[in-house]
Structure 1
Amino acid sequence: MIHVLKHVESITQHRDRALLELGVASALFELVKAREVNLYKIVGEGATRCLERMTHVGQDGVRYAQEFGADGDMDAVLLDTRPEMVACVDHAQIIRREREDHGGHAHCFPISVDRGVLGVLEVTCDAPLTDDDLGTAEGFLGLYRNYLSLLDYSERDTLTGMLNRKTFDENLAKILSSMSVGQVGDDERSYPRRRRQQDDGGHWLAVVDVDHFKRINDQFGHLYGDEVLILLARIMRDSFRHQDRLFRFGGEEFVVILRAACEDEVQNALERFRLAVEAYAFPQVGRVTASTGYTRITPTDTIPEIVGRADEALYFAKENGRNQVASYETLRVAGKVSVREKPDSDIELF
């Protein structure tokens, strides 16, 4: 019992989602004497649903993905290729199967929260889990689910369900930290996996603002204004990839952090989103548009500098017709914005 409580103490001291998952997987690996424990996240919808392995603890070691920008060798497979996982997810039931590839028995536990089944915990052992071990696994999974719900409550905007401003600062700080590690130079051989991550492309930040939102509130009322924000958040989720991070800053302002190989890819993604908003028929309100400003994230940046540049590009888009996407770097080359000094504040509202 003391051994179990020490694992509980270790798990509950984490506020980082990746370390929380690693703590749960490590505890189960030890307590039920598993061959391996894997934690999968479900991404996508319908036939495109995928299982993305976020945490692995086994006899071959430990691997886990950081919250933003997973190491490149973490696995991702279509959910439909794993029938036992489909049954686990669709029916929210514990499924056991015999593994034909390496032998043993795999037990699949659904990770269910208020928003539905978010993932699967897979525990593989030499023999089926005993009732006591099943109880241990379900207990730790319940602890993980409850703690995940608390993290969701503290990390997400209550209206749209998007990540909030506090979580944005933490995510962007992690990105800047990982980029600076990749720039070490003589020591970069000490970080081969992080270096490969950086070779995949750059990070970009975009600030999105609903055009004439005050007019919407004044003309139709705040209830319809809130509905516009909720629907806009849904369009954002449909428009961007699962690995892109979406945040609500407050009011009618949103932020997207994207990973892309080149600026054209970023421009195209943001333009697709702009067109999707423009084409959507918002109930009662009708046509709504959004303006976007974006910039590239560099290792020497601070968070205020990054958001300030994107904010300046957004201001240009607002002042020059709205319903458009503007790049700070492109505007600077054209001489339409000046090189920014270090700002005292990080974002303005329009």
Structure 2
Amino acid sequence: MNTFIEHIVKLTNHRDRDLLELTFSKALIDLLPLERLVIARVMREEGVSRWLEVARLDIKGGGRVIDPQRVEFQSLVKLEDAYDRFKCLQSRSLVEVAWAGSDGPRITMLPLFSDSRLEDCGVLELHSEAALSPGSLALVDALRQIYRNMYALLEYSDRDSLTGLLNRKALDDAFYSAVLEDQEGIWPNMGGAAEQERRHRVPANYWLGSSSVDNFDLIAANHAAAASQEVLQRVARIMSSTFRTYDRLYHFGAAKFGVLMHCPDEALVLAAFERFRANVKATQFPQVGRVTVSSGFTTVRADDSPASALENTERAVDFARRGGGNKACSHLGLVRRGFFGPVATPSDEAVAG
């Protein structure tokens, strides 16, 4: 029982949702007769849904933890092709697969979340040598409920109440978790490949972007507060439908938005912000009419902080607005063209590519 209480303390002591997920997995591996545990989440891109195994742990100590932003989406299994997971997700109930006879090893699947929010679709997959006892299943259910409660609390604290996007505090947490090379001392001591992957990961090809609604002060001055708030909410919805589900989207307050993403090529990042710009321009805002946005983005370097990276994106946004707005600009591209800062070195070019 003391071990169970210790795991509850760890689960309720986190301020990071990624660490919460890993600690939840570790508790189940420690407390139940399991051979392996998998947490599979649903990722979406351009209308296609696929499974990402965000955590896989073995009783022998091996395992892995995956950063959703660093996977190749097309390599993931399609939602419907993992039939048993899909069935568990659709029915929102337990699915048991006895793959070597009725008394042999089996896989027990349960929905990770109790509701049907698209952002939180996931399945908990438990591999065991025999059927799990009612007591074991009751323990799983209790820990799942604690996990859900903590996840909801952290989600609430990370979200902007007006738009539903992540807030500025959440950017600081995600920025350091995603891009710092040395994670030693932050993650629980899992051992094996999971710890090594997190500790020595190289922060390549992360990009931070920001966007501002053009002439928002005039919109706010000429229309009621409800109308300007509706503009921000609609821009947030356009952003959510334009970028990938695993890109991290932010509202920093006023008319400023942000995106943290992993992408192998600067041109692809520019194309994403161009799509966002075009989608906003093509939208009819009922009380306001035409609305445009100016965006800027920068590559994230190992010595960057959230503040220094945001400063570079804001310089690119300011450049776009001085040019009339309704533009997306790369800070790195502007540096290469000599508009401000030193000319990029060949190593900088490599980072951008």
TM-score (norm 1): 0.84
- The offset of 1:210, in angstroms, is 0.8
1:111 equivalent in structure 2: 112
Question: In the alignment, does 2:64 pair up with 1:56?
Answer: no
Question: In the alignment, does 2:40 pair up with 1:43?
Answer: no
- The offset of 1:317, in angstroms, is 0.8
- The offset of 1:242, in angstroms, is 2.6
> Alignment partner for residue 225 of structure 1, among 225, 228, 252?
228
Cα separation, 1, equivalents of 2:15 and 2:33: 26
CA contact (8 A) 1:72 1:197 kept: no
Cα separation, 1, equivalents of 2:68 and 2:231: 28
1:272 equivalent in structure 2: 275
> Alignment partner for residue 132 of structure 1, among 122, 135, 140?
135
Q: 1:60 to 1:231 in 2, by over 3 A?
A: farther
1:79 equivalent in structure 2: 79
Q: 1:260 to 1:207 in 2, by over 3 A?
A: same
1:24 equivalent in structure 2: 24
- The offset of 1:265, in angstroms, is 1.4
> Alignment partner for residue 240 of structure 2, among 237, 241, 252?
237
Secondary structure of 1:124's partner? strand
CA contact (8 A) 1:72 1:193 kept: no
Secondary structure of 2:15's partner? coil
CA contact (8 A) 1:106 1:124 kept: yes
Q: 1:194 to 1:132 in 2, by over 3 A?
A: closer
For residues 321-336 of structure 1, the aligned pairs below 5 Å read: 321-336=324-339
CA contact (8 A) 1:51 1:78 kept: yes
1:5 equivalent in structure 2: 5
Give 1:312's aligned amino acid: R
Cα separation, 2, equivalents of 1:2 and 1:333: 60
Which deviates more from structure 2 when the two are superposed, residues 311-320 or residues 112-121? 112-121
Cα separation, 2, equivalents of 1:65 and 1:15: 18
2:208 equivalent in structure 1: 205
Pairwise CA RMSD: 3.0
Cα separation, 2, equivalents of 1:302 and 1:39: 31
Which deviates more from structure 2 when the two are superposed, residues 139-148 or residues 112-121? 112-121
Q: 1:180 to 1:10 in 2, by over 3 A?
A: closer
- The offset of 1:224, in angstroms, is 2.2
Give 2:112's aligned amino acid: I
Q: 1:72 to 1:261 in 2, by over 3 A?
A: closer
Aligned length: 328
CA contact (8 A) 2:182 2:201 kept: no
Overall identity of the aligned pairs, in %: 30
1:297 equivalent in structure 2: 300
- The offset of 1:68, in angstroms, is 6.4
- The offset of 1:72, in angstroms, is 8.2
Cα separation, 2, equivalents of 1:61 and 1:71: 23
Secondary structure of 2:137's partner? helix
Secondary structure of 2:112's partner? strand
Give 1:330's aligned amino acid: G
Higher RCO by CA contacts (8 Å cutoff, separation 6 or greater): 2
Task: Give unpaired runs (5+ residues) of structure 1.
Answer: 182-190, 341-350
Question: In the alignment, does 2:167 pair up with 1:160?
Answer: no
Secondary structure of 1:89's partner? helix
TM-score (norm 2): 0.83
2:264 equivalent in structure 1: 261
For residues 301-316 of structure 1, the aligned pairs below 5 Å read: 301-316=304-319
- The offset of 1:53, in angstroms, is 0.9
1:284 equivalent in structure 2: 287
CA contact (8 A) 1:202 1:262 kept: yes
CA contact (8 A) 2:181 2:200 kept: no
- The offset of 1:69, in angstroms, is 4.5
CA contact (8 A) 1:68 1:171 kept: no
1:188 equivalent in structure 2: none
